[in-house]
Structure 1
Amino acid sequence: MDDHGDSEPPADAAGRDAEPTLDDLAAVATRAVRAGGDYLRDAFRDGALDAEYERDDVKAVADRNAEERVRAVLRESFADHAFHGEESGRDGEHRYRWVVDPLDGTNNFAAGLPAFATAVCLLRDGDPVVSAIYEPLPDSLYVARRGEGATVDGERLLAGSDVPLERGTVSLVLGLSAVRDPELSALGDRIEAALEDRCKRVVETWSPCVDWGLLARGGIEGIVCLRPDIYEQYAGELLAAESGVRSRGSGDEGLYVGAGDDATLSELVEAVDSVR
């Protein structure tokens, strides 16, 4: 399927809405993240970076505006689906629920750092089945379908890296709950130190979706997420799984470790377990 294409929800012979296919859902997810991401790209280039800075978070006008654009696309195709946006919270009850991060990397965006993305993930009966991540500045579109693989700009993704871990890069993602809890924050520091003993570089980009894309395409060797925020984690975990990333744990459990191959995963798990 062309991830850039449009699709309308199917109807059965009697004209009633039929169960949407993964391709139908992926087409809508793609349009939604592009709507949010295209707005962010223009706002970033125009210098529209108004934001409120807190000690451990940033809220930008662009967050809300991007979410409105994402939601408008989702409503147009699936008005009855439930919606859960980082900015507006939960709305509606349905077996299908869209989880949305309109601007992943708000601090980067507001500071003028070109590392941010728009992400959506669709849960069916609580399980992620489709996700889309769009980085508007490099114009990179990631799409994953449960059981059908993942793509970047329409090309199949197969995770993995030829770089050994001792010369490689690992992303560390701390959710807001981990940052704000002294014990979890201290655990995050210990994990970071343990990872630094195993690899060349540990990065905290403050845009997990950018990191998920790098992992899925083999640009980095691994990722460790401690109490990650669901708005990026659902989309990222599905992208990783469908691109062949090996993993232990999940965001729902509070700790996720992923790598492009089993040997690297074992090393990362050993490092994390040594300080827990």
Structure 2
Amino acid sequence: MHPTPYESDADWQLLQDELRRLAQAELLPRFRHVTAEKKADGSLLTEADGAMQRACQRFLHDNWPQLAFVGEESTPAAQQAALQSDTGCWVLDPLDGTTNFAHGCPLFATSLALVQGGEVVLGLVYDPVRDELFTARKGQGATLNDTPIRVNTAVDQLKETLALIDFKRLPKPLAARLATEAPYASQRNIGAVVLDWCWIAAGRAEIYAHGGQGLWDYAAGHLILHEAGGVSATLDGEAVFNGTLNKRSAVAAASPELLQQFLALAADV
């Protein structure tokens, strides 16, 4: 059986190089040159989503045929069957931040993770506009373009943080509380879940909250954050990754102290 990029440094480098190349080939030429259509859930879908997923799926199957595949644009039945594979499966979001992409806003990325033995063992998130590749293998730390990254631990009070908050998907009482009685120093919403995780990992903000995201949205970024020294939980205090396709709320933080401060606030609403 061919070694996976988790087991082989050569395969790990191949995977990084090819994900970068595919995003540059499939996403960037279509940026500002595509129209979008609505999916059943109201979210947008562009030609770039499908093209990137097909290209990635071909590459992954050609090199690691023993691994199953979960793509955001796959059918629910195919996603569930792949996730139950004994050998492991890839989890791909070909284009996260599709609304940004469709509107010409340069904040979007591709996310790829490998799930084996009930855990995420590697993750990559690539932002082609800035040519920023965030990566992690379990137990080996996180990097940005091959340079190690760590969360910002200099801030230990929620009121001093820069927060990345997705108001739209949070419970309405919590969203209203955060909007009217901001517990942080300042707030942003960049509109690309996979980058939210990575920006916390890289120290660009200290707290992040989202009310419900799919496995493909958080699998890679969740590992990258934790390998960079960060922590996370659902709004109910559970582990975000639970090995299912169910949507999960998420709070990510640069330290356990910041995480607990935010969760305490959320529980008090």
Q: Which TM-score band (shorter chain)?
A: 0.7 to 0.9
Alignment of 1:97-112 (within 5 A): 97-112=89-104
Let me know the Cα RMSD of the aligned residues. Answer: 2.4
How far 1:34 moved relative to its partner?
A: 1.5
CA distance in 2, matches of 1:258, 1:227: 13
Against the structure 1 CA distance between its residues 18 and 59, is the aligned structure 2 distance closer, same or farther, given a 3 Å change threshold?
closer
Picking from 122, 130, 136, the partner of 1:138 is 130
How far 1:71 moved relative to its partner?
A: 1.3
Q: Deviations over 1:85-130 (max 9, x none)?
A: 0112436534210000000000000010000000000001221000
Q: Does 1:172 align with 2:189?
A: no
CA distance in 1, matches of 2:162, 2:99: 22
Partner of 1:69: 55
Q: Does 1:86 align with 2:56?
A: no
Q: Percent identity?
A: 26
Against the structure 1 CA distance between its residues 32 and 86, is the aligned structure 2 distance closer, same or farther, given a 3 Å change threshold?
farther
CA distance in 2, matches of 1:125, 1:98: 12
Equivalent residue letter for 2:260 = S
Equivalent residue letter for 2:30 = A
Picking from 216, 223, 248, the partner of 1:238 is 223
Q: Deviations over 1:205-239 (max 9, x none)?
A: 22111111210011111112322111121111101
Secondary structure at 1:235 match in 2: helix
- Normalising by structure 2, we get a TM-score of 0.83
Alignment of 1:34-49 (within 5 A): 34-38=20-24, 39-44=26-31, 47-49=32-34
User: What is the aligned residue count?
Assistant: 248
Alignment of 1:1-276 (within 5 A): 17-18=2-3, 21=7, 23-24=9-10, 26-38=12-24, 39-44=26-31, 47-53=32-38, 56-89=42-75, 90=78, 92=82, 93-163=85-155, 165-173=158-166, 188-196=171-179, 197-248=182-233, 249-252=238-241, 254-275=248-269
Secondary structure at 1:95 match in 2: coil
Secondary structure at 1:251 match in 2: coil
Against the structure 1 CA distance between its residues 95 and 56, is the aligned structure 2 distance closer, same or farther, given a 3 Å change threshold?
same
Question: Residue 95 of structure 1 contacts residue 126 of structure 1 at CA under 8 Å; is this kept in 2?
Answer: no
Against the structure 1 CA distance between its residues 212 and 52, is the aligned structure 2 distance closer, same or farther, given a 3 Å change threshold?
same
Which has the higher mean CA deviation after the structures are superposed, 113-122 or 242-251?
A: 242-251
CA distance in 1, matches of 2:161, 2:93: 28
Question: Residue 35 of structure 1 contacts residue 69 of structure 1 at CA under 8 Å; is this kept in 2?
Answer: no
- Normalising by structure 1, we get a TM-score of 0.81
CA distance in 1, matches of 2:127, 2:221: 13
Question: Residue 35 of structure 1 contacts residue 70 of structure 1 at CA under 8 Å; is this kept in 2?
Answer: no
Question: Residue 197 of structure 2 contacts residue 252 of structure 2 at CA under 8 Å; is this kept in 1?
Answer: no
Against the structure 1 CA distance between its residues 105 and 36, is the aligned structure 2 distance closer, same or farther, given a 3 Å change threshold?
farther
Against the structure 1 CA distance between its residues 221 and 72, is the aligned structure 2 distance closer, same or farther, given a 3 Å change threshold?
same
Q: Which runs of 5+ in 2 are unaligned?
A: 243-247
How far 1:23 moved relative to its partner?
A: 3.1
Equivalent residue letter for 1:170 = A
Which has the higher mean CA deviation after the structures are superposed, 32-41 or 133-142?
A: 32-41
CA distance in 1, matches of 2:88, 2:74: 18
CA distance in 2, matches of 1:202, 1:22: 40
Secondary structure at 1:87 match in 2: coil
Secondary structure at 2:171 match in 1: helix
Against the structure 1 CA distance between its residues 257 and 95, is the aligned structure 2 distance closer, same or farther, given a 3 Å change threshold?
same
CA distance in 2, matches of 1:250, 1:33: 28
